[in-house]
Amino acid sequence: MISIQDLTVRFGEVRQQVTAVDGVSLDVAAGESFGLVGESGSGKSTILRAVAGLIDNWTGAISVDGRPVTRRRDRAFYRLVQMVFQDPFGSLHPKHTIDRILSEPLIVHRIADIENRVRAALDQVQLGARFRFRYPHQLSGGQRQRVAIARALILGPRLILLDEPTSALDVSIQAEILNLLSDIRQQSGVTYLLVSHDLGVVAHMCDRFAVMRQGKVVEVATRGDLATGSLSHAYSRQLLLASRGYDRAVIDAFADE
């Protein structure tokens, strides 16, 4: 479904260049939920943006469903690949009603039966049709994220790119949104590529995941590996201990192994 070969992404002018992603190769199967995990600045979101066709300062090869990702996103690609961001407020137009936010992609793609599709999308994210004529600021953070997910779903994509989809939400709401995303994947068979700094989220959501450090993939492991703590790289084990709230001294001891 997703093939990434030797992806390198650099930002900035030659003298002050930052290599955000450094020779990453990954394959994600259709229907899989794959995670990119790592500390801030490790290059996770940059990979997502490259797969989405949102940046062009990269070398290597990326394809989605057999189609090479090019620098210019065409309509067909936009239908195939959708993105959900951390902060739904930033991605939902503040002056548009939920109805308009969900209808617009259908209008652009000349898809008929708009009202029924909007209602169905709201149902899918467990928001009733009564939300249709509200504005984003009239919704809670969790409800806004549900709308952002509905918008991502409305064109029936094959791949959804999720960039920290719950980290801006209250802890109590996070699990609700993660469960919703899991249910949607089970029902629709859509593929997820999910970025998170939180191994708890990855354990909940992902079949497999890549641990990233300084632009490189340190290891690829499965949900089972995570559950049993059998991660092969010392850095991944440190991340795991940190996510379980261990003391810095204990975590650092692992680095010396």
Ligand X SMILES: Nc1ncnc2c1ncn2[C@@H]1O[C@H](COP(=O)(O)OP(=O)(O)OP(=O)(O)O)[C@@H](O)[C@H]1O
Please report, as ranges, the residues that interact with ligand X according to CB under 6 A. Answer: 11-12, 18, 20, 38, 40-46, 197
Closest by CA position to 49, among listed 93, 11, 17? 11
Query: What's the min distance (Å) between Cβ of 170 and ligand X?
Result: 19
What distance in Å separates the CA atoms of residue 186 and residue 183, rounded to the nearest whole number?
Answer: 5
Query: What's the min distance (Å) between Cβ of 54 and ligand X?
Result: 10
Closest by CA position to 246, among listed 203, 206, 199? 199
For ligand X, the closer of residues 47 and 184 by Cβ is 47
For ligand X, the closer of residues 41 and 200 by Cβ is 41
Closest by CA position to 213, among listed 237, 189, 191, 182? 237
Query: What's the min distance (Å) between Cβ of 201 and ligand X?
Result: 12
For ligand X, the closer of residues 3 and 167 by Cβ is 167
The CA distances from residue 20 to 28, 54, 224, in Å, are 21, 15, 29
For ligand X, the closer of residues 184 and 199 by Cβ is 199
Query: What's the min distance (Å) between Cβ of 18 and ligand X?
Result: 5
For ligand X, the closer of residues 180 and 195 by Cβ is 195
- What are the helix (H) ranges across 66-164? 75-80, 88-91, 98-108, 114-124, 141-153
What distance in Å separates the CA atoms of residue 103 and residue 114, rounded to the nearest whole number?
Answer: 6
Query: What's the min distance (Å) between Cβ of 42 and ligand X?
Result: 4
